[in-house]
A and B are shown apart, each in its own frame.
Chain A
Amino acid sequence: MHKAPKALRLLDGVSVLLLVVATGMVFLYAPVERTMGLVQKVFYFHVSANWIGMLGFLVAAVAGGIYLARGNRFWDVLEVAAVEIGLVFSLIGIVTGSIWARPIWNTWWTWDPRLVTVAVMELIYIAYFMLRQGIEDPERRARYAAVYAIVGFLSVPLTFLSIRFYRSIHPVVITSSSAQLSPKMFQTFMFSLFTFTVLFVDLLWHRLRLGLLSEQVERLRMKLSE
């Protein structure tokens, strides 16, 4: 069994540490919000998760572009890894959004533009995997997936803008943004964001290694059967 390189194992440790510290900050350092109470604390991880989901998508789109230009399978594996992890983080974002919304606005879902955009992004990710599943030739699969990762990512800002403008003419919608953040809250948020970013890189690296090793196994298996 290949052991993970030292840097990765170090990163694992750092990630866990950061996560612990971030959780501590959320519960102990950041003050309890006046109007929303304890449940507001979900916000730190909720927004961080959404941002990282989007980061995953960005990484995937860039990897896709590089794959199309160079044809090196490494970028395809990275792309899949980024989409998978982004999918998970976005899901966390959506679920924490629900947890937050329910006690405060008595609804499981707010049509907040950012939340809806993340949900649409999630659907694009899922469509991405369905596309991959439907194409048998590995090289064609990689090319098509790269194209869709790029097209999908480019549509996201436009989706956000269109929903945002849609919302602004329908004032009946709930706002879920905490406009004013006290300094401590802001620090907690930034630290959470940082933690999640490190966590993202850590998980991405692991998933990338897994993908590359898996390709290697396939290659060896092919060699044996010839």
Chain B
Amino acid sequence: MTDSSPPLIQVTGLVKRFGLKTVLRGVNFTAARGEFVALLGPNGAGKTTFLRILASLSRPNAGEIRVAGHRLPQQAAAVRRRLGVVSHQPLLYGDLTAEENLRFYGRLYAVPEAEARIAELLRLVGLYRRRRDLVRTYSRGMQQRLAIARAILHDPEVLLLDEPYTGLDQDASAMLDDVLRQVASQGRTVVMTSHDLSRIALLASRFDVLARGRIAASVSRSEIADTELLAFYRAAVEAPAEEVRP
């Protein structure tokens, strides 16, 4: 699943402080093209912070970051073009229809042949029939699916997802699974944070645990059985912080 080209995401010694509190203390992380990395960790570990830095929404205090061949934060604009982000909040405008939302983002990203692409994506996430409805009327699950459509509108090489399953019921979660599987299979590099170990086990090719400000443990899918995941996670979170090179 992974190939030998240079890693699409490369992070070395990432440090992030908020005021006088240090949240990330030298994170090292890589992701190769096509990898699906599940980023696990307790609340407050800094997963969202880490993702926001990768997304160029936040500046690190120290460290080297390369995403899709460009350095952050210096070449942020170039990175943004190759990046798609799905966060807790759907980043959608309630008073616009699904179509209009995608059209708006299509303009911001200067997506060529936007109308065709929008229709294609709406079909992909199963919202084509409700494309003229205001997003305000969408359920949370539908909003998340539309958010993913928004995120891949410009065909990014890297997709970052922050707890996308939050607030979704079983059906909606299953739908999201499908969408993510399709999206991931298109060769994108995906980094996803989630609390839901069982769901993420089916999708990810690698599991990293962020604890106490560093990547405390990392294991690839092939090396661990589903049943051992929880134990692996617990062990990583409780153990004293040690650097594990993926």
Contacts and interface: CB of A to CB of B under 8 A. Distances in A.
Establish whether A and B are touching in the complex (CB under 8 Å): yes
Interface in B12-33: 18-22
A222 B18 contact: no
A33 interface: no
B22 A137 contact: no
Contacts of B20: 138, 218-219, 221-222
B15 to A, nearest CB: 14
A166 B23 CA distance: 54
Interface residues of A, number: 8
Classify the secondary structure of B's interface with A: strand
Contacts, number: 13
Interface in B45-89: none
B23 to A, nearest CB: 11
Interface size class of B (residues with CB under 8 A): under 10
Interface string A185-207: 00000000000000000000000
Nearest to B213: A226
A222 B17 CA distance: 12
A226 B22 CA distance: 9
Interface of A is mostly: helix
Contacts of B19: 137-139
A133 to B, nearest CB: 15
Contact of B18 (A137, A218, A221): A137
Nearest to B25: A226
Nearest to A218: B20
Interface string A12-34: 00000000000000000000000
Max count, chain B CB within 10 A of own CB: residue among A137, A221, A226: A226
Nearest to A142: B19
A221 B22 CA distance: 13
Contacts of A226: 22
Interface centre among B18, B20, B21, B22 (most CB of A within 10 A): B20
Contacts of A222: 20-21
B32 to A, nearest CB: 33
Nearest to B20: A222
Contacts of B22: 226
Contacts of A218: 20
Contacts of A138: 18-20
Given A138-B18, A138-B19, A138-B20, 10 more contacts: A137-B18, A137-B19, A139-B18, A139-B19, A218-B20, A219-B20, A221-B20, A222-B20, A222-B21, A226-B22
Interface of A: 137-139, 218-219, 221-222, 226
13 contacts: A137-B18, A137-B19, A138-B18, A138-B19, A138-B20, A139-B18, A139-B19, A218-B20, A219-B20, A221-B20, A222-B20, A222-B21, A226-B22
